[in-house]
Amino acid sequence: MSTAHPTAPKITFIGAGSVVFTQGLLADLFAFDELKSAHISLHDIDAERLATAEAAARYIADERGATPTITAHADRRASLVDADFVINIVQVGMGEATRTDFEVPARYGLRQTIGDTLGVGGIFRALRTFPLLKALGEDIAEVCPEAWLLNYTNPMAMNVQYLAEATGLTRVVGLCHSVYWTMQGLCELLKVPYDEVTYQAAGVNHQAWVLRWEHEGRDLYPRLDELIAGDEQLRRRVRVDMYRRLGHYPTETSEHSSEYVPWFLHHPGEIERLRLPIGAYLGIVDENVAEYERTRDALACGAPLTVEGTMEYAPQIIHSMVTGTPRTVYGNVPNRGLIDNLPAHGAVEVPCLVDAAGVQPTRIGALPPQLAALNRTYLSTTDLVVRAATEDDPKHIRHAAMADAATAATLTVEDIWRLCDDMVRAHADRLQPSLRAVLGS
């Protein structure tokens, strides 16, 4: 932290043009009295979105009674100078690239629902994000080396591992709301107040597991079992199905969870039984664009905005570091002994204590073996994607797709290589030059 302004930190948003998400984070930040005078530095490469983000920030500050310094920067490095915290919410290629991630694999019969974590969509989202992360890491090292990088950009595990291996930054934590909202949802199912339960989850991002969940010292899993046994519709959810077979509840939605295993998307009957929405993320992309346009137009004509807090982790982390208030959040960090039966260099999601000393991950020990087995498959694909970039080896892109559970369950090896070639062609200008080779099948 800067010693000159310990209670007025500088917080830089990279990709601030993701206006809706930026608004929620700002509403959370300005809910803390100690952060109402923070310096909010906004960066985006899209001039219109940057201007909209700045206008939204000023509106939210006024609504929340905050008096921050707000600056907007087309130049990334300028936005980072003397930053204490850097929040990365960039989506490289925006909706156009995401549409490519769905449409090209679909020609091969490969089904995806969200496509941002694993699978061919996750692989190429990572590969087009890595050049930005490398440049961002270099800028941070030069102009704000003490800053904490709080990453929201997916694919989380790939990006966190890449940041650790390719940039040398150590003050990095990946943040995702999946554990928090999973526990909120489970508590609502059982009609137990969230504030009265204790729980622990661990694993990898979008495939962590609820290891412990208790109310007044009593395990809540037996009550969940009773509810599931009596509710056929609950049993038609992927993660409920996984929980019944694996013994621990996964911390991401059924749409997400279906993509990380070989059992569901390859089978039309399972898609129907479990009500899986193929291509669901494309609808989310369209809605995000529409929401941005509504925000832009409202700000332009002086209409009111409805902005609510999101309970995201980044504002809580910043508040804890600035004030010393201890909190537990869930963070994605390099494993390094936190989970014994997962690779040491992989990125894992674990509880983290946050206070004035920073983000301090919790050692979990060993996961139940069936859970670790799935997480290791996930991290194998992740590792190969990172190696493709750090070792300049385009074959590792294909190796990653071959190792991916859902892809391998659907396509022949020859089609996997042909698909990777088509994806490289489609995304070539966004990939580092060494990975643009078309290798043939």
**3-state class (DSSP) for residue 54:** helix
Cα 352 to Cα 280: distance, rounded to the nearest angstrom: 31
Q: Burial, 166: exposed, middle or buried (Cβ in 10 Å; 0-12, 13-18, 19+)? A: middle
* Tokens of residue 174, six digits: 């990946």
Amino acid at site 262 = P
Residue whose pair of structure tokens reads 């554990």 in the numeric block: 179
**Which residue of the set 177, 215, 267, 345 is catalytic?**
177
Tell me the pairing of strands 327-334 and 172-175.
Answer: antiparallel
Amino acid at site 121 = G
- DSSP string for residues in 343-403: -TTSEEEEEEEEETTEEEEPP-BPPPHHHHHHHHHHHHHHHHHHHHHHTT-THHHHHHHHH
Answer for the pair 178, 149: CB distance below 8 angstroms, yes or no: no
Answer for the pair 118, 38: CB distance below 8 angstroms, yes or no: no
Give the burial string for 111-124 (b: 16+ CB within 10 Å, else e). bbbbbbbbbbbbbb
Has 248 been annotated as catalytic?
no
* Tokens of residue 213, six digits: 């969940």
Cα 35 to Cα 28: distance, rounded to the nearest angstrom: 10
Q: Tell me the residue length of the chain.
A: 441
**3-state class (DSSP) for residue 296:** helix
Cα 402 to Cα 416: distance, rounded to the nearest angstrom: 7
Residues forming the active site: 177
